[in-house]
Amino acid sequence: MNKALLYYLLISFGVCWIGAGFIPLFDIGYNSFASTAIVALICMPAPALAAWIVQVFILKRPFAELQLTWKQADQKQLYLLPVWLFVFLLATVGWIYLLGNVFQIEVFGLVDFSRDGLLLKLEEVTQGKTDLSTVGIPSPWIVFALICFAAILTGSSINLIFTLGEEIGWRGFLFKQFEHFSPAKRSMITGTIWGIWHAPLIVLGLNYPDHPYLGIGMMVVFCVALSFPMDFLRRSTNTILGPGAFHGMINASAAGTMLFIWNGDSLIASIAGLSGALAAFSLLGIQYLLTKIIHR
């Protein structure tokens, strides 16, 4: 391991894990405003901070090499990000439907796009505090489309500010460090680092609250799987903004998508679970096939 990579890992992991340690140290409930602020303001910017320190002060190279750029971006490819999000979400739901509804594997739960199912989920979310019987709920498919639209807007604006804190490190610094590797090898290594980086947050309850330790392994699996299409987006858009916005869109859509999933295990039937990992590989396959067709 070269010195620059070692320093990057020490800083990005150190800052994130110390920040996460503040949550139990000060007895802050996870998912509270204070814990959310710690994650957003200390943990998520840690990879970007590490990338800046190592790139500028240790390697003495221009920060611009990491491709945080709009001018040099392939903007047509950036405009395709909403399409890729929609494909990814449909693939996630599709895998749960195939393995849960069709093959009846219990841990995958069930996909339910009925109006009654959506009302029950909304009542569950609001804890019965709102009388939804008097509210005109549109078709569940329209609700799903609105969730996608809101995720696109949020992911490419507010969420992008925070996800760039990670992506400047993962698809910026590490991409440059492993530039000489094949996309597959680079995605495997980057995804493994990215997944392990989440470890203390997973133990605290991120994504898999019922599986604080098994969740670490699943997060590594998910991050490795998602790193493949993210690496494709980094190369096709020629900017960190591509994977940064896509990361933000996924984060923004995760909770809304669960309105249509019943009784699934969080390790399996969720965007950050096995279903999401399968969807990530499905997305990569579609990206690859379209690229081959276009370039014939």
Give the tens place of pLDDT for each residue, 2-25.
999 999 999 999 999 999 999 999
- Residue 123 confidence (pLDDT) above 90: no
- Residue 130 confidence (pLDDT) above 80: no
Q: Does residue 25 lie in a domain region?
A: no
Q: Does residue 199 lie in a domain region?
A: yes
103-110 average pLDDT score: 97
Largest CA distance in the chain: 63
**Coil/strand/helix, residue 262:** strand
pLDDT score at 119: 87
pLDDT score at 165: 98
- Residue 29 confidence (pLDDT) above 70: yes
pLDDT score at 293: 85
94-113 average pLDDT score: 97
Kindly give, in sequence order, each residue whose CB lies less than 8 Å from that of residue 90, ignoring residues fewer than 6 positions away.
Answer: none
135-141 average pLDDT score: 83
* Cβ atoms < 10 Å from Cβ of 134: 6
Q: Into how many domains does the chain fold?
A: 1
Average pLDDT across the chain, whole number = 94
pLDDT score at 1: 65
Q: Does residue 287 lie in a domain region?
A: yes
pLDDT score at 135: 65
pLDDT score at 75: 94
Range of the domain at 168: 71-294
pLDDT score at 134: 62
pTM attached to this predicted model: 0.96
Q: Does residue 41 lie in a domain region?
A: no
- Residue 124 confidence (pLDDT) above 90: no
Q: Does residue 207 lie in a domain region?
A: yes
Token pair recorded at residue 178:
């492993």
Task: Mark 36-70 as b/e (b = at least 16 C-beta within 10 Å).
Answer: eebbeebbbbbbbbbbbebbeeebeeeeeebbbee
pLDDT score at 147: 96
pLDDT score at 133: 61
212-240 average pLDDT score: 98
Q: Does residue 7 lie in a domain region?
A: no
Q: Determine the residue type at 113.
A: F
Q: Does residue 59 lie in a domain region?
A: no
Identify the residue with better confidence: 77 or 294.
Answer: 77
Task: Mark 143-174 as b/e (b = at least 16 C-beta within 10 Å).
Answer: bbeebbeebbebbbeebbebbbbbbbbbbbbb
- Residue 126 confidence (pLDDT) above 90: no
Q: Does residue 125 lie in a domain region?
A: yes
Alpha-carbon gap, residue 170 to 165, rounded angstroms: 9
- Residue 82 confidence (pLDDT) above 80: yes
